[in-house]
Chains A and B, each alone.
Chain A
Amino acid sequence: MEKMLLSGNEAVAYGALAAGVKTVAGYPGTPSTEMIESLLKMDLPGTNVEWSTNEKVAFEVAAGGALLGYPTMCTMKMTGVNVAYDSLISIAYSGCTGALVIYVVDDPGVSAGMAEQDTRGFALISDLPVLEPSTLQEAYDMTKYAFKLAKAIQGPVFLRSVTSLSQSHGVVEVEPRVLPETGHPLMERNMDKYTKAGAKICMDQHQDLLNRLTKAGEIIAADGINQLHLGAADGAGVIAVGVANAYLKEACQKLAAAGVDVSQLSTLALHNTLPYDDGDIEKLLQHCSRILVAEELEPFTENRVILDAYKLGKKVEILGKNDGTYARINYYNAETLIKGLCKLLAVPVPESLAKRDIQPEAHCAARPITVCAGCPHRGTYIAMEKAIKKLGLKKSDVFITGDIGCTILGTTPPFEVLWTEVAMGASIPLAQGVVYAGTEHPVLASIGDSTFFHAGMPGLVNALQHNINLTLVIMDNYWTAMTGMQINANTMQSEQIHGWHALDLEQVLKGLGVPDLKLADPYDTEDMAAKLADSMQYEGVSVVLARRECAIQARRRKVTYTPVKLIAEKCVKCKRCITISGCPALQFEDGVMKLDPTQCNGCGICTDLCKPGALVKEG
C-alpha cells in the first residue's frame, strides 16, 4: 500500500490497474478526462490505453476485450453515454465473459456545459448495476470492486462518479499494478449470446440480463456495500447516495455543534443505486416514520422508496424531490443536507447555520470567456463576418450552426456569428435542416476536427448524398483542445504516441468527394473571407478547411511566429482591434493601448484590423 495524492479520476485509473485491466478506451470530456490522461502518461506494457474516435467506438473497443474474457474499461463524460448507448445496451443484453466496467462522470451543477443528465436513467433502461463512490478512497476501492462484480455477473457494470469527486484530489492508498493476463483468450463463438438473431435469442438475453441484475443485488448485499444503521424506532431516517454521504456526516457534525440532537437518526448509506437495495430500504421503512432521501439530480432512489413503502403498506413520510424539499438541479453540499435534516427533524435551521441575506455578486464585473490570444478560431469568426459583408449580407441573414469545443466561442462577444450548440456533430445535419426549411441566404455549419471525426462525418456524408446547398467550415487546429489538448486522429504524426497514425483530413474530404473543397489559413482573415464568400455562392456542398494549430499547443511545441509590435505614435485609440478581435493580449488601460508580449503569439490577425498601421509585424 502506498499513499498518494490523487484526483478521483486518477484513483479510478489506479484502481483499474490494480484490477489487472487489459484495455482502457475513452473519449475526452470534462469531468472524466484525467482518467485516461493519467494512464497515457505511464509506461504500461500489457495494457492498451487509447483515446478513441468517439464514445461508442471506445465502448466497443473495450467490449471486444471483455468478449475474450479480459477485464476492460471504457470512460466518458455523461454526454458520452448518449453516443455509446446503442452498443452499450446490446452488450448489456449479451453479457460478456470478462469484466467490463463503464466509468461515467455526471456533472451536477454543470461545470462543463452540456445537459445536466443522470446516467442512472440509462442504467435503469439497460438493467445494469451502478456503483457510486462517495470519497476518493472509495473511488479507488470501488473501481476494483466494479471489476470483481462485473466478472461475477458476467456483464457490464457502471461506475458512476460526479464532478466534485472526480475533479478533487486527496490522499488515496493504492496497491501495485496487477499485470493483465495474457495468452489464453476465450475464443467463444456463441450465437445465442453475441448476435440478436431472432425473437427467441433476444428474449432469452433479456431474461438473462434481468437474472444478472438480481445476482448483482445478492452479491452486493452479501459484500455489505451499503450500510444501514438503525437509530430510534419510529423516528427519522436518511438515505444518502454517493457524495451525499460525505455531506451527511458533515451536516450532522455541524448540527450537533449547533445543539441539534442528531444522535437518534437512522441512516442508509448507498454506494450502489442499481439494482435497488430493496432489502435495506424496507428495513429502514419498517423502522422509521419519516425518511429524507438525499441524492443529486434525479429522484431514482426516492421514487423506489415511495414504491417500496406502498408495497409494504406502511405510511412513511418521504422527503426529497417529490415533496419539493430538494430541487432536481445542481450539486449538493453540507448546507443542502442541513436544510433537509432540519425539515426532517421539524426543527428550525440554527441561527449560526442559516443563510445570510447578502448579494455580493451583484457588484461583480461580468467575465465572459473568449478564445485565447492567437487562437486560430478568432480568424475564422472574423473571416465569417467579412465574407457575410462581402456578399452584401448582415449577420442576422446568415444562419451558422456551431458545434462543440473551443469552436463554439463564436457564439459569444465580440463575434456572435454562431447560432446553435446542440451536440457533437449536430452542426452539419442541423444546417441541412435549415436549408430544407428554406432560407433566402447561404447556410453554414462549423465544426472542430475532433468533433468532425467523432460524429460529424455521417452528417457530411448525408449532405453530400443529398446535394445540399451548404458551406461547412472545419476549424482544424490539430488537437482536441477544449478538453485540454488530447491527441485525435487529425493530430500531426510527430505528436502521435504509441505508434498511432495521423489521418489527413484533407485526403478524407477528397475521398468523400466534396465537390468544392478549399484550404484556408485563419490567420489570413482576408484570404479566408474571400474563399468563404466564394464557397457560400457555390451550389452544393462546399467545405472550407481552416487549418492552423491551436495557439496553446503551438506555444508548448515552441512553434513561433513573427512578433507583432504596437507603434504607440500611430495608435488613434479607436479600439477597433479590441472591439473586433477581443484578443486578450490587447488591452486598453489608463487611456493607452497596450500589447501584452507574454500573451501575444504573433498571429497577426489584429494587424489587419488596425487601419492606421499601429499594429504591425516586426521586421
Chain B
Amino acid sequence: MQTYDIYLVGVGGQGVLTIADLITRTAFRKGIPVNYYPTKGMAQRGGFVKVQLRLGSSEVGPDISEGGADLVISMERSEALKAVRFLKTGGEFLLYDHRWNPAAVMLGKAPYPDLATVWDEIAAVGGKVYALSDKDLPAYEGRPVRDNIYVLGSVLAQTKITDILPLKDMEETIAARWPKVTAVNAFTLEAGEKAPLLAHP
C-alpha cells in the first residue's frame, strides 16, 4: 500500500487535533493503516501544537523524518515555519493564513513574519503552496463557520490526499461525529473545497 505522511501544525485551540482526528477516523473506517501522534503540550491553549499522521503502513514509528511529509497542513502563519523542515522536497503545503499573535507581538515588542516570507521558505524546499485567507471564511446563518473543517475541505479538494481518502468518506466521518450539526458542517466542508487560493503576495 502507498504510504502517505501528513504533518499538521497550529496553535492550541485552533482545532488542529480535530482535523487529524477526522482523517484518522476515516482511514480507520476504510481499513487503511494509520498512526496518529499528537504533541499538544500543556493544559493551556495558545501553545504550539503538532500532529504527525502516517497513513498506509502499520510498521512505521510515530515520528516523521525531516523532509518526509507528503503534505503539511498549517492553521497559523508563523507556526507554519516550524513545519517546513518536515516537508518532502516537492511536497504539498496547505497554509491557512491566519495570525494568532503572541502577546509580545501585540505589544509591538516582537516581529511577526509576513506571508511572503513563509511562502518563500516553503518554495525553497520545492513545496507547492496552497494558501487560504482567513478573511474568506464564510458565515452560516450569520456566524463564522469552523475554520478547521473549512481548511479540511480545501485539503481534500487541492491535495493528493484524495488518492487515499476520497471526499465522500470524510463527509460520512464528519456527519457521524456531529450528527446534530450536519448541515453547517456540510456547508463548511463544501465552502472549503471551493475556497479561493491566494497568490504569492
Contact = CB atoms under 8 A, between A and B. Distances in A.
Interface in B93-139: 101-107, 110-113, 117-118, 121-122, 124-125
A414 interface: yes
Contacts of A136: 35
Interface residues of B, number: 55
Interface string A557-600: 00000000000000000010011001010011100000000000
A-B complex: 3 closest residue pairs judged by Cβ atoms: A168-B37, A246-B61, A360-B84
Given A356-B89, A363-B81, A363-B118, A369 B113 contact: no
Interface string A362-401: 0111111111100100000000000000000000000000
Contact of B24 (A169, A332, A353, A587): A169
Interface of A: 5, 111-112, 134-137, 164-165, 167-171, 243-244, 246-247, 249-250, 331-335, 338, 352-353, 355-356, 358, 360-361, 363-372, 375, 406, 409, 413-414, 481-485, 552, 575, 578-579, 582, 584, 587-589
Interface stretch (B43-51, B154-162, B170-178, B186-194): B43-51
B117 A363 contact: yes
Nearest to B46: A584
Contacts of A164: 37, 61-63
Contacts of B47: 367, 369
Interface in B1-60: 11, 24-25, 28, 33-39, 41-48, 52, 58-60
Contacts of B65: 333-335, 338
Given A243-B61, A364-B79, A366-B104, A170 B110 contact: no
A334 B68 contact: yes
A136 B35 CA distance: 9
A170 B34 contact: yes
A171 B34 contact: yes
A167 B39 CA distance: 8
Contacts of B44: 369-372, 375, 406, 409
A165 B103 contact: no
B111 A250 contact: no
B60 A250 contact: yes
A372 B45 contact: yes
A168 B103 contact: no
B107 A355 contact: no
B148 interface: no
Contacts of B52: 168
B64 A578 contact: no
Nearest to A248: B61
B121 A482 contact: no
A587 B106 contact: yes
11 contacts: A111-B41, A249-B60, A331-B63, A333-B64, A335-B65, A355-B66, A356-B85, A358-B121, A363-B121, A364-B78, A482-B42
A360 B61 contact: no
Contacts of A406: 42-44
Contact of A367 (B37, B62, B102): B102
Contact of A578 (B35, B60, B103): B103
Contacts of B85: 356, 358, 360-361
A171 B28 contact: yes
Contacts of A363: 78, 81, 113, 117-118, 121
A372 to B, nearest CB: 5
Contacts of A481: 43
